[in-house]
Amino acid sequence: MTTDAALEKLRAICLALPETREKLSHGMPAFHIEKGRMFAYFWHDHHGDGVTSVIVKTSGAEEQETLIEIDPGCYYKPPYFGPSDWVGMRLDCGDVDWDRVSDRVAISWELVAPRRLLEAGGR
């Protein structure tokens, strides 16, 4: 899958979630809910690292570490975001499990969504 196709697929997943918007943040497409609460970033060759991924929030360091331990070919601790418990999901390694990407994006969205959206049924 090309980088553009991966971004389009990720964009469709993110923008299907309630009250989601896209903007550029630090030169990369970023997805947020009201007042700039980010829940996903599209990372492509950032600072020449050669990686294409989506960066999403986790519930904390334990979840981040568990994901990386379970599937280090998919998950990794991204620079800059990793110390704040975000995790990267590779989109450039073979067949991407887009259902798994969609689930992780939705979990990340739920972690930043305001109570009123969650109480309204969220996603």
Tokens of 78: 């991204």
50 vs 11, more confident: 11
pLDDT at 67: 97
What is the domain partition of the chain in residue ranges? 3-119
CATH topology of domain 3-119: Aspartate Aminotransferase, domain 1 (3.90.1150)
pTM: 0.92
Which pLDDT tens digit goes with each residue over 56-100? 999 999 999 999 999 999 999 999 899 899 999 999 988 899 999
3-state secondary structure 21-47: EEEEECCEEEEEECCCEEEEEEEECHH
- pLDDT score of 36 more than 80: no
**Mean pLDDT over each residue of the chain, to the nearest integer:** 92
C-beta of residue 6 within 8 angstroms of C-beta of residue 52? yes
